[in-house]
Amino acid sequence: MPLVGIKEILVHARQRQYGVPSLLAGNLDMVTGMIKAAEEVRSPLILAFNRQMTPTIPATLSLPMSVRAAQQAGVPVAVFLDHGHDLEEVVQAIHLGASAVMFDGSRLDYEENVRQTREVVRVAHAVGVDVEAELGAIGGSAAETGRIDETVEDQDAHPERYFTDPELAAEFVERTGVDVLAVSFGNVHGVYRGKPRLDLERVRRIHARVLVPLAAHGASGLAEEVYPQLIQSGISKVGYYTAMGMVVARQLKYMLAEADDSVLAYHQIIAASVAAFYTETKWLLQLLGCAGKADLA
């Protein structure tokens, strides 16, 4: 099945009200387990490369690997640059085969975000690549967003200052021509501090004004019952890594603690890693309601 863009996947998800995960695909273990799960439950999938989260794995290796795996998959798979911060990074990802890119201009003032996002859209759309942008600012881990500034630090104390404005969201989409909009409504990257406080009414208001699919970054680690609420409010793309990464790490830690050092070799760790990402991805695909939606018809 050919590599697809996020627009094709997420328009279908928005119309039929289910969610599709965007999963950190930093290495072959992750990609192999994730695609195996998607093929088994017949689900579309988004594989995300995030330079800040896997800095030791070059984009020149990771992105082509994900692209090749997506091209060989039996279900629709998009390969996505997550949190690109300038046109140069976006163009590199396009040259490496990404079918979708994110330009994260949330650190910029509104007019500059519009200007730079519009230029990214012009370049990407010229070669058939979809674009996601962010309006508002999603807090949490600076490692994931690549932002090390007062915005990230201040959001824990005053998160509502950085929530997406529904009226501005409609204007932003119209002026930039983006295919997907990442919104801020109390979601944070990394581990949540205390109980999450999500403004789902704000998401509903944005969804009513904006015709493109909406993305929620930092959506792992929530209670299971929250995910259907996210989707019903209008979220189509669910950014999910931290909780999955922590579960897999615990499983590998347990395996290593129980293993016999005299026979343990690294290929066994690889196999266990693939199996763990497969299990966690399969559970998530079923939770978000995208299992059985691979047809996109």
Q: What is the DSSP letter of 295?
A: T
Q: Which residues pair with 131 in a beta bridge?
A: 101
Residue type, 290: C
82 belongs to the catalytic site: yes
**Would you say 245 and 24 are in contact if contact means Cβ atoms under 8 Å apart?**
yes
- In degrees, rounded to 5, the angle at the alpha carbon of residue 271 between the alpha carbons of residues 75 and 278 is 35
Catalytic residue, from 82, 104, 130, 199: name it. Answer: 82
Rounded to whole angstroms, the Cα distance separating 74 from 235 reads 25
166 Cβ partners below 8 Å, 6+ apart? 202, 205, 206, 208, 209
Element (H, E) at 81: strand 77-84
List, by residue number, the catalytic residues: 82
